[in-house]
């Protein structure tokens, strides 16, 4: 059985409606719909099933909602916490099998070099993943995309994360670029041609 849709009509969600009812309503490409299984509303042209049902093409998506500096900062803090926590647990478990005290100390200090490396890999893989963002970004409901808000490739993601060295290397002034442009891009976003997009909420 097809999952019914809720439709935003005059600014308010109504429904649920089945596909036959949706077709009879004459849904337009820009109308917002969602099912119970979807995280948020999408425009009709973004949904494959509705696009095929109504016979219109997918329009170019122009992002209009962007992640704020506060959201990005909190997401980054959460990610550092997750990565550091995982690394600490792993090193602790490994140290349990080390009898030599000096070896345990070396393992503990090596953790400081390990965390940034793991964080880079984690960030690069998550930003180009299906959810377009790390766990911190997912919690804050923001995601990384290209200039159309679409999912980026692994190569693009790695380049973006290397570009963060520019934002950080300018005494973190590069992160403040987001206050001076409409798309709230940091320096590394401008260099990499990416956006941090915020989900639509109703």
Mark the ranges of the chain whose per-residue pLDDT is less than 70: 1, 58-62, 200-202
Asked if 152 and 144 touch (Cβ cutoff 8 Å), the reply is yes
Whether 95 and 152 map to the same domain: the answer is yes
* DSSP for residue 180: G
Whether 42 and 105 map to the same domain: the answer is no
Quick check: is 40 in a domain? yes
Range of the domain at 12: 5-54
Quick check: is 190 in a domain? yes
121-152 exposure pattern, b = at least 16 Cβ within 10 A, e = fewer: ebbbebbbbeebbbbbbbebbbbbbbeebebb
For the whole model, what pTM was predicted?
0.70
Quick check: is 156 in a domain? yes
What's the CA gap between 161 and 186, in Å, rounded?
12
Residue 58 has a pLDDT of 66
- Nearest CA to 63 out of 199, 159, 192 is that of 199
The number of domains in the chain is 2
Q: Residue 154's Cα: distance from chain center in Å?
A: 14
Whether 80 and 44 map to the same domain: the answer is no
Quick check: is 60 in a domain? no
Concatenating the DSSP letter of every residue in 40-65 gives S-EEGGG-HHHHHHHT-PPPPP----
Whether 188 and 137 map to the same domain: the answer is yes
Residue 59 has a pLDDT of 61
Whether 115 and 47 map to the same domain: the answer is no
Asked if 109 and 99 touch (Cβ cutoff 8 Å), the reply is no
Whether 48 and 76 map to the same domain: the answer is no
Quick check: is 61 in a domain? no
Residue 202 has a pLDDT of 39
Quick check: is 146 in a domain? yes
- Give just the sign of the alpha carbon dihedral 186, 188, 194, 200: negative
Whether 124 and 189 map to the same domain: the answer is yes
What's the CA gap between 122 and 139, in Å, rounded?
16
Q: What is the pLDDT of residues 75-124, one digit of tens each?
A: 999 999 999 999 889 888 888 888 787 877 787 778 778 899 999 999 99
Whether 172 and 74 map to the same domain: the answer is yes
Quick check: is 62 in a domain? no
Residue 56 has a pLDDT of 82
CA distances 177 to 88, 120, 174, 182, 185, Å, are 33, 22, 5, 10, 6
What's the CA gap between 118 and 90, in Å, rounded?
12
Whether 172 and 75 map to the same domain: the answer is yes
Residue 109 has a pLDDT of 79
């Amino acid at each position: 059985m097809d999952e019914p849709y809720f439709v935003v009509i005059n600014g308010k969600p109504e429904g649920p409606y089945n596909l036959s009812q949706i077709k009879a309503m004459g849904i337009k490409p820009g109308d917002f719909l969602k099912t119970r299984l979807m995280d948020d509303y999408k425009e009709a042209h973004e949904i494959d099933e509705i696009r095929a049902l109504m016979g219109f093409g997918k329009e170019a998506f122009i992002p209009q909602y962007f992640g704020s500096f506060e959201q990005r900062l909190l997401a980054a803090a959460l990610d550092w916490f997750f990565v550091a926590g995982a690394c600490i647990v792993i090193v602790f478990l490994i140290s349990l099998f080390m009898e030599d005290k000096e070896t345990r100390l070396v393992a503990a200090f090596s953790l400081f070099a390990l965390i940034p490396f793991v964080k880079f890999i984690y960030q690069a893989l998550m930003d180009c993943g299906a959810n377009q963002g790390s766990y911190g970004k997912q919690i804050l409901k923001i995601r990384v995309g290209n200039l159309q808000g679409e999912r980026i490739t692994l190569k693009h993601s790695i380049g973006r994360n290397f570009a963060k060295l520019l934002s950080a290397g300018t005494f973190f002034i590069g992160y403040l670029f987001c206050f001076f442009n409409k798309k709230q891009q940091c320096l590394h976003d401008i260099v990499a041609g990416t956006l941090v997009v915020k989900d639509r909420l109703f």
